[in-house]
Structure 1
Amino acid sequence: MHNLLKRQLKKYLSENLSEDDALNPFLTAVERSYENYDDKLSMLQRATTISSEELYAANRELENEAQRQNHILNSLEKAITSLEANLEHKNQLDYNSENEFDAEKLAKHISDLARKVANMAMEKDNLLKDLKTQNESLNNYAHIVSHDLKSPIRNISTLMNWILEDEKGKFSPESSINCSLITQNLEKMDKLIDGILEHATMGTTNENYVSFSLKSVLDNLKQTLYIPKNINIIYADTLPILFCEIKRIEQLFMNLIINAVTATEEIEQGIIEIKAKDQGDYWKFSITDNGKGIPENHQSSIFEMFKKLDTDSKSTGIGLALVKKIVDLYEGEISLKSEENKGTTFFFTLKKPYDRST
């Protein structure tokens, strides 16, 4: 028997019993009951250690899961707050991360917001369809009105030419001048109608994007536009190759060049300089002249329809409005810097094209 156990038992036995051999079977039975005590104790301690480690790991996993769930709830709360703000939702969900989480209430609230988003998307589609229909009607109306206006204007112009030819010599000098003014105003009205139609339909027609040299476009404009001998147009041979709708770019530079020519035609030596600079996603251009400049009180409204310089009787007031609309179509910006009797510089950017098939 284990010495410690035997000594402990004999402490409580009388002296005659502790030496009695008849007690040996009892002591042997007790000894056998404690044979596996150490092993069992070791197994119990090991099981306790394992259970403690598993419990610790489980607690850590629960803690991580709780943090993840809390993060999800915070994200949901932010998403719902954003949706409510955009939808101007009045029945806001009374949710606080410290309060008891009601999944059913949250699901119902999200469903309600989703329905509102779906309704807004449907309304947006309907508005876009209506806008498309109205744009088509407006374009048709613009074409019809321009045709109906241009026909009588051209008829009047033809009749005036006939009258001048048939009655040549019968008109007084003053009447001849007046007839000439009528013809000039008819031509101006014809150009004005063309400009209005061009501005109204700008962006509704799809023109193919092509690669072309800006220098070649400017070379052609110098040949086709009337450029007085006192004006010199300067640009480098290294102007960029553009991938754009060539007709719109021609129209943009044509209107700005005509504007610069008008500003410099009355000075002794007019200079128009065109520059280009690569700015990553954009091309930046400038067109500078040394002409009469634009008065400060006109600079803020020069790009509006029918806005023109008071001294410029030939202008229709549409050219620069068309320029701005083309720049807008290419997601660019346009501005100017001008000083009277010193000249003007127009700055504008054009966004480089992207792959429209993606």
Structure 2
Amino acid sequence: MSIAQRLFLISFLILGFIALAVAVGLGKAHSLNVETLIRERLKLINYSLLSQADNFSGEIYLPHTVNDERFNEEDSPLLAQVYDDQGRLAWRSISATTHQLSLPQPEAGQWLFGLAVDEQGQNYYSLSYNTSWPDEFGRHSRFVFSVLEKADGYQERQRNVYWIIAISTGLVLLALLLLQWLIVRLSLKPLQKLSRDIQNLNSGDQEKLSSSYSKDLNPMALDLNLMIDNERRQRQRYHDRMADLSHSLKTPLSVLRGLSHEAEEDLIDKKQLSQSMNKQLRRMRDIVDYQLQRAVTGNQQASFVAVSLEQEVGAIIKALQKVYLDKNIQCQINIEKGLSVYADEQDMAEVFGNLCDNAFKYGKSQVAVDAWQDKKAWYFSVSDDGPGIPENEQDSIFERGVRLDSQAEGQGFGLALVREILASYQAELSLSSSQWQGAKLQLRFPKHNSSTS
């Protein structure tokens, strides 16, 4: 059951109960009002009857025909009876001669109003008065004067009033329910729009929630958008890290493949083969741990150590020469002696590894690696004699998945990964032409992030 249906059902039950209570209350009030009017009317008639009566020697005297002509007609709806203090009928009007009625007796000096029924089942409103009356000798006798009137006409009108109250209350209830339905519909319209937008998000037809719901829902929509954006960033980060992992594992896998080839050709002894394979396996384990850590923490820097460029780059070049053995690349390494950078070792391995791998991949026969420093920063550059990169396409190569040479192996994640890592160190990566008209990638690392030894 939807929220609108629940609200409508609750409103129906509450308003229905209120309408029923109002209808019953109005009916009761009308009945009391009618009975009060009848009682006052019968009291006036009773007073008129009392004014015509007299007590002679303890017996009541009333003329056979009284002033009110209705008492003098046999089929009249108005009846009158008088009882003595023994409860015996002392007098009755002509209209009451054909009726036998048993009425309760009020206390002395009291009025008693109620309903009476004759032998034919006819209902009458009755009002009786117990009065003390002195005779000509001053002796008091008690008499009960009772006036009755048929209730059929009143009861019929009362039933009509009940129907009018019921119909009117029902119409008011229907109008209130329609108004409540309209209020609920208008009130839930922003919530329904939010629900549709969430469904569109799930189906992919919409990227985020709008901010045009209501004052109460807009903060929630903003929070949901933040949560959605965070979830998307997290998914993208996991996707990127897995892509980075596959990219980073290519070099050690290529080295292992080269070692396997050397072992098949008996170009390497078992001890050297075992050492080289263990080194690459440790490298692969470190890469997996590093990328998993980045997937969890993002680009936050982890453990900082002094990374020796000479050792780190030397190991990378040695591995790449095995990977690209068939290209017979001549590599010139010019690294200032003792130069090191204070950073995460795995970060630097990814940066140097990707820059050098690109040079070996696209270079024809020449690669140059240089590293130096000044007072503000240290620098690292890799140059090759490959085809170079057109100036109008230089910005796009730093995007994920972009490869200018579709014939070369790879997925185009290397330089994008390098730029992401360098951004966390406030370092800069620039692209220019090398001395061989190939590509030259240069890294500038701020001095506050490095130390020299």
TM-score class, shorter-chain normalisation, is 0.3 to 0.5
More strand by share: 2
Larger radius of gyration: 2
TM-score normalised according to structure 1 size: 0.42
More helix by share: 1
TM-score normalised according to structure 2 size: 0.34
